[in-house]
Structure formats: structure tokens, C-alpha cells
């Protein structure tokens, strides 16, 4: 028998015995138990949210070990297939590696689709390769 069922039985017993004072005390205890259960559910939700945030922060910290900034552009030295460039603003504000893309062959700048940041004067592939080679990852 659960605690809730036991209280319910005790309330019915007190009601049948005609003892309204005991019945009221049991109802108060039952109300407090229900409130505690709700608080436990709320704390469980908060705990799950904190665990999720903690995981995200750990992942961000792990990624940041492999991030380098070259001439205002963010690069990921751990991923040779997609090393960047990534948006510096998105990285600094959210620790997200958001690619910056060319919006046309005749346009002299690139844009971040996430924040709208505009970039120009992209480092050459040779510059990037030399820097990556200097970090031991090229």
C-alpha cells in the first residue's frame, strides 16, 4: 500500500468514526505530501535541465580545445574535412561553429547564415595550411 492510499484509508476511517479533528489533520498531511511530490517533480525537471546544460558546456569546452582564430576567422583544427572558416561572432557568443559562406562569385565578402555577420579578406589556403602545419595538425 502506498503512502497516499494509507492516508486515504485513514481519512475514511476517521470520517466513519466521526472524528473530524483527526480527519482534518490527515487531510492537511495529505495536502502537504501532494505539494512535496509536486516540488520533487519540479526539482527533477530542473535537474534534467542542468544535466543538459552541463553536457552542452562540456561539449563546448572540448570543441574549444581545437579552435584557432586566424585573421578574425575561426577554424577547427580537429576536422580536416571541414576546418572552416566559421563565424567568430557566433563562436564568441554561443560557442557554435557556424560556417560562413560565399553568397556569390562576384561578391567580395562571405556571410554567416546564423547571425548575418559579414566577412571579407579571407586568409589564403596557403596561410591556413602553414598555420595548421605549425600547430602539428596540418
Q: Distance between alpha carbon 130 and the CA centroid of its chain, in Å?
A: 35
- Asked whether the beta carbons of 74 and 85 are under 8 A apart, the reply is yes
CA distance 122 to 86: 11
What are the b/e assignments for 97-130, b being 16+ CB within 10 Å?
bbebeeeeeeeeebbbebeebebeebbeeeebee
For 9-29, how does the pLDDT look when each residue is reduced to its tens digit (9 = 90+)? 887 877 787 777 887 888 888
| pTM strictly above 0.95 | no
Q: Distance between alpha carbon 39 and the CA centroid of its chain, in Å?
A: 23
| pLDDT band (50, 70, 90) for residue 40 | very high
Q: Three-state DSSP class for 70? A: strand
For 68-124, how does the pLDDT look when each residue is reduced to its tens digit (9 = 90+)? 888 888 888 877 677 888 999 999 898 888 988 887 777 777 889 899 888 887 777
Amino acid at each position: 500500500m502506498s503512502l497516499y492510499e494509507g492516508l486515504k484509508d485513514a481519512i475514511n476511517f476517521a470520517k466513519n468514526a466521526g472524528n473530524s479533528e483527526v480527519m482534518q489533520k490527515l487531510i492537511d498531511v495529505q495536502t502537504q505530501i501532494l505539494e512535496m511530490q509536486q516540488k520533487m517533480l519540479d526539482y527533477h525537471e530542473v535537474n534534467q535541465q542542468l544535466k543538459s546544460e552541463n553536457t552542452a558546456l562540456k561539449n563546448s569546452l572540448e570543441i574549444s580545445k581545437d579552435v584557432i582564430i586566424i585573421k578574425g576567422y575561426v577554424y577547427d583544427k580537429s576536422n580536416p574535412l571541414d576546418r572552416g572558416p566559421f563565424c567568430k561572432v557566433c563562436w564568441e557568443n554561443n560557442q557554435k561553429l557556424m560556417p560562413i559562406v560565399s553568397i556569390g562569385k562576384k561578391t567580395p565578402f562571405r556571410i554567416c547564415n546564423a547571425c548575418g555577420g559579414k566577412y571579407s579578406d579571407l586568409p589564403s589556403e596557403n596561410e591556413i595550411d602553414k598555420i595548421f602545419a605549425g600547430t602539428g595538425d596540418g
